[in-house]
């Protein structure tokens, strides 16, 4: 227990003092604030530059547009920044040899993996939830009478994808000593997922659904029961990534 708390404190100091918290929070909050604002004001702004008949043809923005912007921003830029921030958390330590001293003091390698992964997941969760609250507040403010359906499910799916990405990153960190190795690994996994989603039979199980169907969920086209298969496979993959990372890391020389 001592070791876990020591590692968490260390991760936090690293995250805070190396400005990673600042970068992650700033980017996420800018994305969060801009989502409802873009939805609300973009037609007006464009209207100033475009001919009147074109501008009038824009549909009136709705709460859906606000959330659509949010999902677009977070499934692309948001996740990419998350990968940049946590993509080298362990490989950096392996490169610089900073783990040699703690490991010779009896630090368990399993704790190292689990704490690193859990820490990135907690940070993702906290900042993601705060961002969702920001978007929610603005959306309610601008469109008080409109209501989207299954908001929690829709937001939950993207959150789970972030957790899956964190698991892929920790495995990549064990497999590769460099950040680019991990980055390529993560991109490779993403490509594989896209390919899987092309097959009609496997389509329902592809994790890409977690970040591609959020808007449809809001329109009530999918409900929780449609995702049982994906939720199970995602959870299995998250656990498998961790087990594999632990087994491999325990065999690595330092």
Contacts to another protein by CB under 8 A: 2-3, 5-6, 9-10, 13-14, 17-18, 96-98, 100-109, 250, 253-254
Structure tokens at 146: 């409109």
Query: Considering beta carbons, is residue 112 or 169 the nearer one to another protein?
Result: 112
Angle at 76 between CA 205 and CA 67, to 5 degrees: 85
Shortest distance in whole angstroms from residue 173 CB to another protein: 17
Residues contacting 250, CB < 8 A, separation 6+: 109, 110
Least gap, CB of 177 to another protein (angstroms)? 15
Q: Which is nearer to another protein, 145 or 251 (CB)?
A: 251
Q: Which is nearer to another protein, 92 or 215 (CB)?
A: 92
- Of residues 92 and 197, the one with the C-beta less far from another protein: 92
Closest CB 89 distance from another protein, rounded Å = 12
The minimum distance between CB 202 and another protein, in angstroms, equals 40
Q: How far apart are CA 29 and CA 78, in angstroms?
A: 10
For residues 2 and 48, which CB has a smaller minimum distance to another protein in the complex? 2
- The least CB distance from residue 42 to another protein, in Å, is 41
**Least distance in angstroms from the C-beta of 170 to another protein:** 19
């Amino acid at each position: 227990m001592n070791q876990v708390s020591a590692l968490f404190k260390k991760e936090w100091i690293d995250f805070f003092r190396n400005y990673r918290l600042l970068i992650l929070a700033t980017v996420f909050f800018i994305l969060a604030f801009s989502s409802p604002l873009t939805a609300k004001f973009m037609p007006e702004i464009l209207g100033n530059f475009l001919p009147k008949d074109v501008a009038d043809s824009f549909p009136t923005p709705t709460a859906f547009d606000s959330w659509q912007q949010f999902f677009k921003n977070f499934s692309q830029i948001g996740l990419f920044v998350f990968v940049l921030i946590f993509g080298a958390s362990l490989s950096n330590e392996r490169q610089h040899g900073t783990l040699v001293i703690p490991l010779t003091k009896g630090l368990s390698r399993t704790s190292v993996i689990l704490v690193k992964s859990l820490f990135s997941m907690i940070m993702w969760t906290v900042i993601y939830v705060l961002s969702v609250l920001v978007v929610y507040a603005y959306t309610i403010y601008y469109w008080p009478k409109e209501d989207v359906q299954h908001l929690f499910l829709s937001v939950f799916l993207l959150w789970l994808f972030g957790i899956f990405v964190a698991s892929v990153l920790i495995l990549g960190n064990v497999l590769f000593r460099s950040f680019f190795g991990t980055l390529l690994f993560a991109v490779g996994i993403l490509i594989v997922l896209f390919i899987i989603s092309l097959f009609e039979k496997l389509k329902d199980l592809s994790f890409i659904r977690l970040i591609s169907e959020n808007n449809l969920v809001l329109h009530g086209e999918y409900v929780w029961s449609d995702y049982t298969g994906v939720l199970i496979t995602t959870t299995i993959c998250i656990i498998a990534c961790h087990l594999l990372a632990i087994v491999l890391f325990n065999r690595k020389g330092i």
